[in-house]
Amino acid sequence: MRDKIEAVEVKCPKCNRKQIVYIPKEPIPKCPDCGTQMVISELLDEGKSY
């Protein structure tokens, strides 16, 4: 059984700081600069495999 991990780009709605997180392994983070809950801005579902 494999975990399905997806890379998503999240961004801060306040200062537009961007970050890549892997869900559901990582929670959507808060912005390290201003503490605002970041939102998903783009799904990066490229189907990469190694």
Q: Is 18 near Zn ion (CB under 5 A)? A: no
Among 5, 20, 28, 34, binds Zn ion (CB under 5 A): 34
Segment lying near Zn ion (by CB under 5 A), choices 5-13, 20-28, 41-49: 5-13
Cα(2)–Cα(18) distance, rounded to whole angstroms? 28
In one-letter notation, the amino acid at residue 31 is: C
Q: Provide, rounded to whole angstroms, the least separation between the CB of residue 11 and Zn ion.
A: 9
Give the position of tokens 């780009």: 9
Question: CA geometry: angle at 45 spanning 7 and 42, to 5°?
Answer: 70
Q: Is 31 near Zn ion (CB under 5 A)? A: yes
